[in-house]
Amino acid sequence: MLTRRRALALAAALSIAPVAPAFAQSVTLRSADIHPDGYPTVEAVKYFGKILEEQTNGKYKVQVFFSGQLGQEKDTIEQTRFGVIDLNRVNTAPFNNLIPETAVLGLPFLFRSVDHMYKVVDGPLGDEIAKAFEPHGMIVLGFFDSGARSFYNSKKPIKTLADMKGMKIRVQQSDLFIAMINALGANATPIPFGEVYSGLQTGLVDGAENNYPSYESSKQFEVAKYFSLTEHSMAPEVFVMSKLAWDKLSAADKQTFKEAGKAATLKMRELWAARDQQSKDTVIKGGAQINEVDKQPFIDAMKPVYDKFVTSEKMKSLVDRIKATQ
Ligand code: GTR
């Protein structure tokens, strides 16, 4: 057995420090993502870790468990709330049922452009929505871009509202998204992202909705080649930290985490723009057929969704202020 005396003697002989000084101890934070390595969200969280490590002299490190290694989004959200996972990059949609304020970000055809969405999430409205995560055990470190979501399916191009009728469409686990699909005359089926490819392949669902990078990286374009540009929702991604982990940080470290979150957000958006184009090229090469859609009938059909979800004074005020944001 290696006793302490022998260890010290050995260390002295090798002239190395026998015990690492306490201040050099580092904490590795675990972060979840369903996307694969190299995807903009995964790279942005790695970048967050790099900044954190530099700024805190190695006190904090981040390990990203990509490709859903820690579970699907609904599960990892629970794990984050209870401190099993420290960090999580998720879409805002799976938070909709838990935190109603997040639903406002996914409302159909609300944002006029990606820039409009950035202005909202980067300003006081974004802070207000971020605050709503705290009573549920999470701190928002950044809102990432997720482009616009459009429908794709294995049957035919969606050109008119009538083409949606009776289609079985996979949605995220969010009542808002279920209502949107049903309002269009289709049938919503909520299933986790990791099961969508096989769902499309086996005919469990006819289609789904997402942005180009997710459609491409998940290979769903191989089994659902008709991509119709409805661009019905711009629900952004959100990067959160477990409040239990956050509460252990010193005030100075909290500041560093916030700043690293901002830097990661900017990095993500830059990576996103490039990946969006690259993914579009890949799916076209892979046989996807993309068509434009006259959006007005889709916009009109969404009125019941607003009637159902924008009922409280708080929600009405959020929607009005988003619309007024220039
Ligand atoms: C993607 C998003 C994921 C997940 C996925 C889905 O656009 O980045 O976080 O929400 O969509 O549809 O489940």
Residue-wise pLDDT for 249-271, tens only, equals: 999 999 999 999 999 999 999 99
Ligand 1 test: best mutation among 66, 92, 114, 172, most atoms within 8 Å of CB?
172
Within 13 A of 213's CA, how many CA atoms are on the CB side?
Answer: 22
As a whole number of angstroms, the distance between CA 326 and CA 314 comes to: 20
| Ligand 1 atom 1, closest CA | 214
Task: Confirm whether 59 is domain-assigned.
Answer: yes
User: How many domains are contained in the chain?
Assistant: 2
Q: What is the structure's pLDDT at 25?
A: 83
Average confidence (pLDDT) over 270-279: 97
88 lines ligand 1 (CB under 6 A): no
> Same structural domain for residues 296 and 227?
yes
Task: Confirm whether 18 is domain-assigned.
Answer: no
As a whole number of angstroms, the distance between CA 80 and CA 77 comes to: 5
237 lines ligand 1 (CB under 6 A): yes
CA of 271 from ligand 1 middle (Å) equals: 17
Average pLDDT over the chain, rounded to whole? 94
Ligand 1 test: best mutation among 181, 210, 234, 275, most atoms within 8 Å of CB?
210
Structure tokens at 194: 């990791």
193 lines ligand 1 (CB under 6 A): yes
Task: Confirm whether 12 is domain-assigned.
Answer: no
Task: Confirm whether 3 is domain-assigned.
Answer: no
> Same structural domain for residues 105 and 117?
yes
> Same structural domain for residues 97 and 34?
yes
273: CB partners within 8 A, 6+ apart: 145
Ligand 1 test: best mutation among 170, 193, 233, most atoms within 8 Å of CB?
193
174 lines ligand 1 (CB under 6 A): no
**pLDDT-based confidence at residue 14 (cuts at 50, 70, 90):** very low
> Same structural domain for residues 157 and 291?
yes
> Same structural domain for residues 297 and 225?
yes
> Same structural domain for residues 248 and 268?
yes
Average confidence (pLDDT) over 296-307: 98
> Same structural domain for residues 177 and 293?
yes
72 lines ligand 1 (CB under 6 A): no
Within 13 A of 49's CA, how many CA atoms are on the CB side?
Answer: 21
> Same structural domain for residues 302 and 171?
yes
> Same structural domain for residues 206 and 59?
no
For 102-125, what is each residue's pLDDT tens digit?
999 999 999 999 999 999 999 999
Average confidence (pLDDT) over 192-207: 98
Task: Confirm whether 10 is domain-assigned.
Answer: no
> Same structural domain for residues 36 and 117?
yes
Task: Confirm whether 17 is domain-assigned.
Answer: no
Average confidence (pLDDT) over 90-103: 98
* Residue 29: closest CA among 245, 174, 177: 245
Whether the pLDDT of residue 47 is over 50: the answer is: yes
Structure tokens at 128: 């207000």
Range of the domain at 51: 24-145+236-281
Cβ atoms of 302 and 177 closer than 8 Å: no
| Ligand 1 atom 10, closest CA | 91
Whether the pLDDT of residue 136 is over 60: the answer is: yes
Q: What is the structure's pLDDT at 23?
A: 52
> Same structural domain for residues 277 and 290?
no
Which amino acid does the sequence have at 129? I
Task: Confirm whether 56 is domain-assigned.
Answer: yes
Task: Confirm whether 16 is domain-assigned.
Answer: no
CA of 286 from ligand 1 middle (Å) equals: 21
- Which CATH number do you get for residue 213? 3.40.190.170
> Same structural domain for residues 209 and 182?
yes
Q: Which atom of ligand 1 is nearest to the CA of 209?
A: 12
